[in-house]
């Protein structure tokens, strides 16, 4: 297995329990370090990472899916050594569906997030939450990477609910050129 791990935000895990959507998972009980109780681990079969081991707490739920992938609602963030801050948004339902992502602040340090009221309701953000905001990357026709700042992925780390928050204004582009790429 390649050296990969599910992404967490320090002590704030970003995931949600959901166990009934992928029959390719293998369930097993394991013990970790000083953990006094067993932890259920899952294995998702992925094209990029092979068998990807993850905990319930690492899974993200997109109740509305992603635009263009409305039926794909369960993902996990994966980081690989040496590629930070780049992360992979890997589908737990479709082995070949994996997006490259960066924190929006890496692309634009002054990014001004705007989330529609219905997305805020879905996220159930409260004032103490510090949502994680990621931009999905794509390769332009010329091979250069671009970032979708028009519709970032917003994750509530407390509930592990996520949405792709499409802005109602045109302040940012869905094909923002990345410097040096």
Check residue 108 and give its pLDDT. 96
pLDDT tens for residues 5-54?
444 333 333 332 222 223 222 222 222 333 334 567 889 999 999 999 98
Rounded to whole angstroms, how far apart are CA atoms 172 and 44? 34
Query: Domains (ranges, CATH) in the chain?
Result: 4-177 (2.30.290.10)
Q: Is 120 helix (H, G, I), strand (E, B) or coil?
A: helix
Q: Above pLDDT 70, what percent of the chain?
A: 77
pLDDT tens for residues 101-127?
999 999 999 999 999 999 999 999 887
Q: Is the peptide bond before 179 cis (omega within 30 degrees of 0)?
A: no
Check residue 96 and give its pLDDT. 96
Q: Which of 38, 32, 152, 19 is nearest to 93 (CA)?
A: 19
For residue 1, count CB atoms less than 10 angstroms from its CB and return exposed for 0-12, middle for 13-18, buried for 19 or more: exposed
Cβ atoms 134, 104 nearer than 8 A: yes
Q: Is 118 helix (H, G, I), strand (E, B) or coil?
A: helix
């Amino acid at each position: 297995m390649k050296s990969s791990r599910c992404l967490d935000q320090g002590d704030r895990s970003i995931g949600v329990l959901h166990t009934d959507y992928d029959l390719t998972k293998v369930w097993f009980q394991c013990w970790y370090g000083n953990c006094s109780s067993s932890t259920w681990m899952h294995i998702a079969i992925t094209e990029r990472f092979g068998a990807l081991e993850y905990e319930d707490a690492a899974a993200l739920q997109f109740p509305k899916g992603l635009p263009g992938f409305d039926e794909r609602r369960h993902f996990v963030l994966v980081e690989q050594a040496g590629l930070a801050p780049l992360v992979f948004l890997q589908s737990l339902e479709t082995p070949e569906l994996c997006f490259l992502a960066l924190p929006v602040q890496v692309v634009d340090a002054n990014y001004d997030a705007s989330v529609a009221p219905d997305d805020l309701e879905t996220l159930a953000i409260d004032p103490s939450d510090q949502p994680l905001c990621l931009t999905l990357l794509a390769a332009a026709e010329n091979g250069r990477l671009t970032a979708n700042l028009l519709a970032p992925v917003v994750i509530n780390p407390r509930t592990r609910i996520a949405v792709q928050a499409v802005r109602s204004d045109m302040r940012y582009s869905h094909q923002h050129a990345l410097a040096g790429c």
